[in-house]
Structure 1
Amino acid sequence: MSVCVTCKDPLVIEIEPDSDEDVSMEESGPSSGKARAPEPETVPDDVHLNCGCHFHWQCILSAYSYTQCPNCSRNLTTTCSDGTQQILCTYHNEGGVQENLDILPLLTEESYLKAYPEERKCRAFLEFCREGDMGAIIDMLKDDEVDSDDDDDEEMDTSEAGDEETTRRKISTDEMLRYQDPIGDMQSGLHAAVQAGSREVAWLLLLLASNLDLLQFPTEVFQEAEAVGIMRDVVEDKVDIRSLRDGNGKTAEDLAKEIGGVWVGWPGTGRLAI
């Protein structure tokens, strides 16, 4: 069996069983039984790059040097028909074998987050906006409120990375709400919600990060916000999320005009643009 070129271990990982699984009973003698926890399950974890090297997924994330193989230094990128770059691999995990999988976006993101670890929370928030996951968005906002209450006098967050101690700036809730993806066309959460066709997420972002007249909001929006304990703070002196433009110079309203669908009737009303 091939091994990971980084850690030299077999290309498998162990998955611990769910803690709520029933504990199995095993005969331990002629007349007694002994409870035993389920054994961890072993599943494949093999990233086979086009240079021929094999990695565990976490090992390549840790060792990745942008476009070169961290083991043999061979250039890994190929060019798509539209001119964009990609890194294709064969990835074998518990879900099966995926051939010609482009992992460049994930590797690029991980490289970026190594340089700017304080943005990890913002990027998770943006991903939830892309997925239209209201529950996860609200949980992040409420957790952030709790953190802010605990750290009112702290502007820096210190964490340990190996033997080194790193200090990073804490990202405020306002910054998270108005975050723009530097490696994803500078999209904001509102752009992401429009792209995903999620009016529910769009209404939440407009409530919290725009100065849209409150009379423009449906009653249901206030009821839902009140139910989860979230409401608009002072926004007059802050950037209105509707004014943010992506890397192509488009506002969320410009994007809504192109997409149509659930956004028919929104452009031109002031909901998505100032």
Structure 2
Amino acid sequence: MSVCVACQKPLEVEFEPEDYEEDVQMGGSSSKAPVAAPDMVPDDVHLNCGCHFHWDCLLEAYQVTECPSCGKNIASSSATGAQQVLVNLNNEGGLQENLDILPLLTEEFYLKAYPADRKCRAFLEFCREGDMSAIIGMLQGDNESESDSDDEMADEGDNADGEDTADVGIDALLRYQDPIGDMQSGLHAAVHAQSREVAWLLLLLASNLPLLEFPPEVFQEAEALGIMRGLTEDKTDIRSMRDANGKTAEDVAREVGGVWATGWIGTGKLAI
């Protein structure tokens, strides 16, 4: 078996099964059910220069265009002229050949430099996927953590590095723009995903769209979840945010069409 060129260990990793130890009733007495031993699964990133890495080892030594082991160029150009890094990736999900891992590497490299953005980027990814339950879970969690830590934040002010620690929580999530994804906001992401449900939620919480413009069911669901609009007049209206190409969410909606073609474009819902 080949080994990782970085750590010289076999190209596999322990995969913990989801089975857990629990009481099992047998003949009136209880005993512990056996716990399955962890499985060994592949963990092999095969670069086009011929070098093999564990995924974490590659991230640790990551360089954009060169193999961190042999120094050969590992980047190439796609049919559209965009830079890519094609590999054969073999992990618990199976073998994926000619997979472009440059977007994954770029994101992980960015988050290593800016770990505070990890939560915001997760929120944005949920908007891209139209995952309402995950979005609500994050917002509810932040709402609780904000109320628990308001006094603590007021006392702390700035952190040791001089960065403002108060600018966190729901507002930061709702108005985050992706610095490595064309500065998209959550509303841009919802429009691309054609998720009206996510769009309504973001408009309710992060815009000044008049409340009379919202369908009654939006309020009913928000009330059931314990989420409602706070003060927005002094905050950036999410509808005004522009991506790296200067486009608002409504500009994107005009291009996407689909669910936005009727009752959204030109009505003020997606643009101020």
Task: Confirm or deny a common fold (TM above 0.5).
Answer: yes
1:230 and 2:227 aligned: yes
Select between 50-59 and 169-178 the one with higher mean Cα deviation. 169-178
Residue aligning to 2:7 = 7
Q: Which of 246, 256, 259 does residue 259 from structure 1 map onto?
A: 256
Change in Cα spacing, 1:80 to 1:34, as seen in structure 2 (3 Å) is: closer
Residue aligning to 2:266 = 268
> Aligned partners of 1:75, 1:209: CA distance in 2, in Å?
44
Change in Cα spacing, 1:34 to 1:121, as seen in structure 2 (3 Å) is: closer
Change in Cα spacing, 1:253 to 1:13, as seen in structure 2 (3 Å) is: same
> Aligned partners of 2:23, 2:94: CA distance in 1, in Å?
28
Residue aligning to 2:28 = none
Find the residue that maps to 2:245 and give its secondary structure: coil
Structure 1 unaligned spans of 5+: 25-32, 159-164
Q: Which structure has more strand as a fraction of its residues?
A: 1
Q: Is the CA contact (8 Å cut-off) linking 1:51 and 1:74 kept in structure 2?
A: yes
How far 1:111 sits from its partner (Å)?
1.1
- Counting matched residue pairs gives 259
1:207 and 2:226 aligned: no
> Aligned partners of 2:201, 2:78: CA distance in 1, in Å?
37
Q: Counterpart amino acid of 1:247? A: A
Percent identity reads: 65
Q: Is the CA contact (8 Å cut-off) linking 2:23 and 2:32 kept in structure 1?
A: no
How far 1:255 sits from its partner (Å)?
0.8
Q: Is the CA contact (8 Å cut-off) linking 2:13 and 2:42 kept in structure 1?
A: yes
RMSD: 2.2
Q: Counterpart amino acid of 2:121? A: R
Residue aligning to 1:62 = 60
Q: Is the CA contact (8 Å cut-off) linking 1:23 and 1:38 kept in structure 2?
A: no
Please give the residue correspondences for 1:45-56 in structure 2 after superposition, counting only pairs within 5 Å.
45-56=43-54
Q: Which of 235, 238, 244 does residue 241 from structure 1 map onto?
A: 238
Deviations 1:78-129 (A, max 9, x none): 0112111000000111222111100000101111111111111110000000
Q: Which of 190, 193, 196 does residue 193 from structure 1 map onto?
A: 190
1:138 and 2:136 aligned: yes
Find the residue that maps to 2:13 and give its secondary structure: strand
Change in Cα spacing, 1:50 to 1:10, as seen in structure 2 (3 Å) is: same
How far 1:74 sits from its partner (Å)?
2.1
Residue aligning to 1:162 = none
Q: Is the CA contact (8 Å cut-off) linking 1:257 and 1:267 kept in structure 2?
A: yes
Structure 1 length as normaliser, TM-score?
Answer: 0.88
> Aligned partners of 1:264, 1:20: CA distance in 2, in Å?
50
